[in-house]
Structure 1
Amino acid sequence: MRSGREPARELIARLASEFTELPGGVTSIGDGPLDWPGYEDQLTRATERTGEREAVVCGVAVIGGTTTVVVAFEFGFLGGSLGTRTGTLIEQAFSHARSLHLPVVSLVMTGGSRMQEGTPTLLQLQRIARQIALTREAGLPHIAVLRDPTTGGGWATLGAGADVVLGLRGAQVGFAGSRVRPPGYSVTQQFAAGLVDQLVPPDELRLRLERWLQLVTTPATEAEVPQALGASTLPETGWEAVQRARAPGRPRAAAYLGAYFDWHEPISGDRCGGVDSGVLCGFGHRNGTTVAYAAQCGSATRPAGFRTAARLVRLADRLGIPVLTLVDTPGAANDAAAEKAGVGAAIADMFTAVASARVPVTTLLIGEGGSGGALAFAAPDRLWATPDSYLAVISPELAAAILKRDPSQVRATADQLRLRPQDLAELGIAQLAQATDQATAM
């Protein structure tokens, strides 16, 4: 068996403990809108071979205790192609999900639009896109699983248009199929380009879906402030605050996420062709509920990092899930590549996402807070600072250089910038984060 290539009903049986197919399925076979010669015979043979009367099986399933609507493609039925009747079944499935306020899981495996039905089948993409838009508007999550292959309109709507995109390892995924542009584009390449959230081995799909469905359906009320993991005493000078924040051994975002969540699942990529490994985004399980997170990891944040974080905030806001952001960056990347990739617009996008969020956004400053690249991740009224962090309009070194001060004045400049955690508290910018018992003992 190739990557995930199994009959739709067998896959559903492997993933779900219960499944009820939706009524209103296809009851007749005809020549289609173009009266394509031999098309009726092709449909008949496809039904005899698969036992299905169309290329999708739709119904209500229970996956890991969460009830969801499932749209599963049957590749054995004319290559899982999208026809006019396929569009009808998918439309019914999404409409049913909205009527019951259920999430949708699309198990996509398709060669694209069905040529025997011509342009009318192409119009199904608009029809499906409309259903995705209405489901988003209703605040319901849509998770897509990319199977082998996922090409054409199926990738450009149900696949790439989902909130969370899981790709089965080894799958061919791309707008052009292998017969159009051999050898085809792989899911690994799509992941590297920031278009797929996770690569999943086929035998791990059930567990991953169970976790994701739990995450997107159990929102917390707000994100609690994490405890400080590093130093427990406040820095005496501004330069000491800077040196602490830059210390290699200081706890970083991964340590905070590990301590804060029972478990978490990442999302990846900005959906524009970029990935920033210095920004971690995703959803985590904490005390039975879900909190979304966007965390800087201490490096200069690149445009893809800001865009991925903005995508995370907007998705969490739409699903009613509170957000935790961790700030730790010397600033936004400002090299030629970052400027060409639109770093200014990307920072603006993140500022706007946080400013417009209706869910609570909680921010913990855990290290360096360099200028607007750091502030873009920060909630205006819910900002806490750890003892080994700082937030400044600019680094002391650059401030001294811009003001044409002697390099020996860098330390004095750090004090004048009032960037220490206690300075931020006195200025009403942030509150001081409580240290853990372990940190207190340090």
Structure 2
Amino acid sequence: MAPPASSIRPALPWVLVGIIVLALNLRAPIIAPTAVVPDIRADTGLGAAGVGMLTGLPVLLFALATPLATRTIRRFGPETTVVLCLAGVLAGTVIRSLGPTPVIMAGTVLIGAAMTLGNIVVPVLIRRDVPWNRVGAATGAYSAVMNVGSMATLLGTPPLAAQFGWRWAIASWGVVTAAALAFWLVKARRLRLARGTTPMPPSPRPAPADPVPSLPGGPGAPHAAAGPAADDAAGRRMKRITALLLLGFCGQSGAYYATTAWLPTLLADTRGLAPAASGASASLFQIAAIVGALGVPLVAARTRAWIPMVLVGALWMALPIGLLVAPEAFVVWSLLGGVAQGGGFTAIFSIVPRIARSDAEAAAASARIQAGGYLAATAAPPVAGWLNAATHGWTAPLLLVFALAVLFTAGSVAGARLSERR
């Protein structure tokens, strides 16, 4: 007889390896085209808004496909969902490189829909398989590796495009996706064999014997409800926190995708950098996120939950203001903004697994935050491109990033403060 599903938990190192190889593929495929925008425009005739849709469409799918993601997790389980995610990303990467503009957009849509599965399933995997006191570190590693993948594509795509053309350059990153898919196929098969044919139903995760604070001063791990009134109160509190984190994530994701889509072009226009040099400079924005992603859990372990949010918000605001006031120091502002974007993602999604009372609630909260946040962020790259074209400059797009940074700060600070209350 198969062992109880809840007793089958993979070893933590393999959990982290699985999350890392998945994370490498959850942003890089949609970042790669931003490093070769001039080549794509020259070959396809796309305008500024059309190029913005190469990042905007996947973000739109992040929002629209979240119900599909939650149903897929519920129906097939987390491991199979990851396999479907990586298979879809690989297929979309190949399709996007094959034909004219409609085919490019079709592949981009498939990439976005597939990535949505990964976006939603990672918090479920972390909640289910990672000890409470390591949730922040695991979320930080997930966020950091996404940015490592983005940095690698920004650095590697222009030289590949110069040698083989932009289509082969962006298609070549499918090799990384294929390797991750192979890993997860083996991992999923081994877990299926261990669990037998019995599906694993979502069940509340037991509270640890020695409760670990969910965040400094926070409510601790979920405990069994005292009754219907306690359930209702906990449910209302969870909804309020989710709504506030949603506002914060609207600002976070909007600022991130607008900056990612247009920073290489901005640097080329304002500083006269060649495509390879502007891509390399913009990659600082991605690599600095590692500091933020891994640093936020360290700060949160020693302070109140809202303090990292304030620090991250201040760093986010420094990016657009710095580029406006002292553009010659673009390296400094790119690094500060990179720390902010890595730290902001980690700060928001470290809260969700800690306050959720079950795997299903974690998936639902993550889906709501990501659906609303990515829907709001969908407009950011094309709007920033339109503002640039309409004003013939970068002041208006940078003010848009500043406004989104303010929204992140307001929503995330309020959500973190509420998460600390018992």
For normalisation by structure 1, the TM-score amounts to 0.26
Which of these two proteins has the greater Rg computed from alpha carbons?
1
Q: TM-score scaled to structure 2, two decimals? A: 0.27
Return the structure number with greater helix share: 2
- Structure of greater relative contact order (alpha carbons < 8 Å, 6+ residues apart): 2
More strand by share: 1
